[in-house]
Amino acid sequence: DAGVTQSPTHLIKTRGQQVTLRCSPKSGHDTVSWYQQALGQGPQFIFQYYEEEERQRGNFPDRFSGHQFPNYSSELNVNALLLGDSALYLCASSLQGLDEQYFGPGTRLTVT
């Protein structure tokens, strides 16, 4: 049983560009949450998707958007990249109504 997978593993972008990160949830899970983790900090919640809709959102600007597909996989899009967007982006999946979240290994984004 594959756990949560994310792609790509690493990514380097230039300021002002756009990026798309992908996440496949653990088998049987229907809810995907995205977190941003800056170096030396704990993960910060970006948003959560369930039934292909954004259900909850953290304190992140509209440059951060997402999508969930019918197979429950999800994408995180970031437009107009800033240097401060450099971070580890984590995807977590869960089953709606249950507490435990399962995290993927993350995508390391570097903005130069």
Partner 1 sequence: DAKTTQPNSMESNEEEPVHLPCNHSTISGTDYIHWYRQLPSQGPEYVIHGLTSNVNNRMASLAIAEDRKSSTLILHRATLRDAAVYYCILRRMNSGNTPLVFGKGTRLSVIA
The Cα diameter of the chain in Å comes to 40
* Pairing between β-strand 107-111 and β-strand 53-57 as defined by DSSP bridges: unpaired
On whether the CB atoms of residues 5 and 62 are closer than 8 A, the answer is no
Question: Residue 79, interface with partner 1 (CB under 8 A)?
Answer: no
Among 19, 21, 26, 48, binds partner 1 (CB under 8 A): 48
Question: Residue 23, interface with partner 1 (CB under 8 A)?
Answer: no
Pick the piece of the chain touching partner 1 (CB under 8 A) from 13-21, 30-38, 61-69, 73-81: 30-38
Among 21, 26, 31, 72, binds partner 1 (CB under 8 A): 31
Question: Residue 90, interface with partner 1 (CB under 8 A)?
Answer: yes
Nearer to partner 1, 44 or 86 (CB): 44
On whether the CB atoms of residues 15 and 7 are closer than 8 A, the answer is no
The encoded tokens of residue 104 equal 């993927």
On whether the CB atoms of residues 52 and 68 are closer than 8 A, the answer is yes
**Residue 34 backbone dihedrals phi, psi, to 5 degrees:** -115, 140
Interface residues with partner 1 (CB under 8 A) are: 4, 31, 33, 35, 40-45, 48, 50, 55-56, 58, 90-92, 94, 96-106
